[in-house]
Structure 1
């Protein structure tokens, strides 16, 4: 046997040689697993909730903040004052701020895991870390969220149409549902810029309405406590503060974890401040008699002008929110469970309409249901579960 061959064999049979060989094999296995996981991640389709998306490869911090805030501002805020009236001023503010901190924490979780995986979407993270079960949990969460939101929007627009056109709420809801659902079926989707412009209009209207309520505010109207409505205000607050699904896109647009983290903090503080002022203004003006769609209360204070303004805001907010959420869910049904367009559309818009016409017509309470179930699962439970499972895996 040649001397060189004997030396080579002795190298391998020594303990150091075996350790070195095992280490190389382990590194190769890790690389192979990483490649396989990346391939799996590329094959997972992201589930959608919002139609606001990052259309540019590189965005500024100001644009990132606008996208995150724009995703949050919508019809959900209209139900906050009514839900707050169920618990009183101080408990409502405590719950809103508490939900904001909880949502900010889970937003950080989404950002961290997305950044570690090159901007992976929430559905990709769920399926990658939690397996197929995680992917389906995310889909079911978004389905419930969409179902509750669409049902609430049908109920809300029934009330708006009844007030504006003097028809019954049921007829108003039916007309709105038919027209909006036709738009959804044909996929006539507003651009991200249009959605953001609408968000700025909404913020301006919220500020204007708040100023209109200041002369009628009385501190005594809100100084009571009733904890029976805690679940309601919690659910609506969760619904109104959800922006987690666009965090990965914002991270990719900014290209910096630290910048995105800083923007994310302000993206929760700003809407929460707007919601708090809007909520407090209505509660101090109307107290326990705050309407389900808060702005409709303006008619009792300002007559015909109040009626127009009070219904214009929900008309804009609910219509754009209905079309956006229904389009996103229709897309999820087409892509995630691979349904054809007519079936995907029917599964999205028909069940909520059936439930409404059977008799569930409470706008704010349905929003609370969506927040306490689908939104809580998608934006709170699943991110925490992803963090916990990943931590366990790293420990082993």
Structure 2
């Protein structure tokens, strides 16, 4: 039981990051019922992909990260494609959190977005320095980040559940059915936690299937509850970053949530450059911190910096790429794996193509609607 709880907590804690702050806004635009349908559809797709990824791990004697599995079952090109998808996801998150932190800090101190750019740049300098000098401390701090996120969700539920206006949840706009797709997809990305979950379970890997089911169901319920409360209380005034409309204490918690998420993503990418691609620590750090700032400044120059658009596009592109690669990997793992798995999900070419087509349509619609 303790191992099950630890494994579930690790996977849920990795999946639920600062991306949750964008869910209420996109659901408000499309309508609550449509948002719930999006969550159910994406949760179902991700459940299958997570189960397949776990099976890949169980069919492989040596524990790998995503790029390692891609290299083993898809070759060098597969490894490069997986890294591109992984890096795109992280860079999208870093850019989005630069935008989100700037806006949140500006609202916290001046109740206005006027100083967002200044705060974003200051935040970038601070976090860049911390990510270089304090990597060991940051890895321990990820647990604190999880606690902050769960505290934020719990406090919002406790303080606002009785202030819900049901009329705010009755609005639906079918023409925007796919509007929440990218942001919700981003909020379900936690593939990097699977190797860690396997390590936690050690000799109890037969529990992996149950861990995935429990985690995806719990995450889905949390997202639906969070959206219901924020949209139910804020209505059409729901901001892109959910905490901005809930008061100072929640803005602070939102800032801390994005702070810890930014650090966790930075560490993950620095480690990937350093260990998987043999870059020096300094070069890995430079690759990680420079591109997000450059793209952020370009977006601001053209006045198109948007927290929602960045995580929406980042979510669908990286989610679709990683998901497709996992679906391709599992087919090869079933024949080339070097270990007997604790469970096996039947491989269906028809189901695989249905999932890929849904992901492709969602990606195209998200990109088109963002410009």
- Larger-Rg structure: 1
Whether 1:286 and 2:234 are equivalent positions in the alignment is yes
Whether 1:88 and 2:31 are equivalent positions in the alignment is yes
Counterpart for residue 368 of structure 1: 312
- In the alignment, the residues of structure 2 paired with residue 347 and residue 232 of structure 1 have an alpha-carbon distance, to the nearest angstrom, of 32
Let me know the Cα RMSD of the aligned residues.
Answer: 2.3
Cα distance, 1:393 vs. partner?
Answer: 7.5
The Cα offsets for residues 249-277 of structure 1, whole Å up to 9 and x where unpaired, read as 32233123321111221111112111110
Cα distance, 1:321 vs. partner?
Answer: 0.6
The Cα offsets for residues 54-80 of structure 1, whole Å up to 9 and x where unpaired, read as xxxx97111111111111222111011
Asked if the contact 2:182–2:312 (Cα under 8 Å) also holds between the matched residues in 1, the reply is yes
**Cα separation, partners in 2 of 1:213 and 1:59, compared to 1, 3 Å:** closer
Structure 1 residue corresponding to 2:165, chosen from 213, 218, 230: 218
Counterpart for residue 239 of structure 1: 186
Which stretch shifts more, 188-197 or 272-281? 188-197
Cα distance, 1:390 vs. partner?
Answer: 4.7
TM-score normalised by length of structure 2: 0.82
Cα distance, 1:391 vs. partner?
Answer: 5.9
Cα distance, 1:227 vs. partner?
Answer: 4.2
Whether 1:269 and 2:217 are equivalent positions in the alignment is yes
- In the alignment, the residues of structure 1 paired with residue 228 and residue 311 of structure 2 have an alpha-carbon distance, to the nearest angstrom, of 19
- In the alignment, the residues of structure 1 paired with residue 146 and residue 92 of structure 2 have an alpha-carbon distance, to the nearest angstrom, of 21
Cα distance, 1:228 vs. partner?
Answer: 4.9
Counterpart for residue 147 of structure 2: 200
| Secondary structure of the corresponding residue to residue 63 of structure 1 | helix
- In the alignment, the residues of structure 1 paired with residue 140 and residue 213 of structure 2 have an alpha-carbon distance, to the nearest angstrom, of 23
Mapping of 1:1-396 within 5 angstroms? 60-118=3-61, 119-166=63-110, 168-190=115-137, 194-254=141-201, 255-298=203-246, 306=247, 308-358=248-298, 359=300, 360-378=304-322, 380-390=323-333
| Secondary structure of the corresponding residue to residue 250 of structure 2 | helix
Asked if the contact 1:114–1:121 (Cα under 8 Å) also holds between the matched residues in 2, the reply is no
Which stretch shifts more, 80-89 or 326-335? 326-335
**Cα separation, partners in 2 of 1:252 and 1:392, compared to 1, 3 Å:** closer
Gaps of 5+ in 1: 1-57, 299-305
Asked if the contact 1:99–1:237 (Cα under 8 Å) also holds between the matched residues in 2, the reply is yes
Counterpart for residue 9 of structure 1: none
TM-score normalised by length of structure 1: 0.77
**Cα separation, partners in 2 of 1:70 and 1:287, compared to 1, 3 Å:** same
The Cα offsets for residues 109-147 of structure 1, whole Å up to 9 and x where unpaired, read as 111111111244322221111111111011101111111
Asked if the contact 2:90–2:269 (Cα under 8 Å) also holds between the matched residues in 1, the reply is yes
| Secondary structure of the corresponding residue to residue 239 of structure 2 | coil
| Secondary structure of the corresponding residue to residue 235 of structure 1 | helix
Which stretch shifts more, 346-355 or 145-154? 346-355
Gaps of 5+ in 2: 338-346, 348-371
Asked if the contact 1:231–1:368 (Cα under 8 Å) also holds between the matched residues in 2, the reply is no
**Cα separation, partners in 2 of 1:267 and 1:81, compared to 1, 3 Å:** same
Asked if the contact 2:185–2:315 (Cα under 8 Å) also holds between the matched residues in 1, the reply is yes
**Cα separation, partners in 2 of 1:181 and 1:232, compared to 1, 3 Å:** farther
Cα distance, 1:192 vs. partner?
Answer: 5.4
Asked if the contact 1:100–1:268 (Cα under 8 Å) also holds between the matched residues in 2, the reply is yes
Cα distance, 1:105 vs. partner?
Answer: 0.9
Number of residues paired by the alignment? 329
Cα distance, 1:175 vs. partner?
Answer: 0.7
- In the alignment, the residues of structure 2 paired with residue 120 and residue 109 of structure 1 have an alpha-carbon distance, to the nearest angstrom, of 15
| Secondary structure of the corresponding residue to residue 291 of structure 1 | coil
- In the alignment, the residues of structure 2 paired with residue 177 and residue 230 of structure 1 have an alpha-carbon distance, to the nearest angstrom, of 35
- In the alignment, the residues of structure 2 paired with residue 76 and residue 148 of structure 1 have an alpha-carbon distance, to the nearest angstrom, of 11
Asked if the contact 2:152–2:254 (Cα under 8 Å) also holds between the matched residues in 1, the reply is no
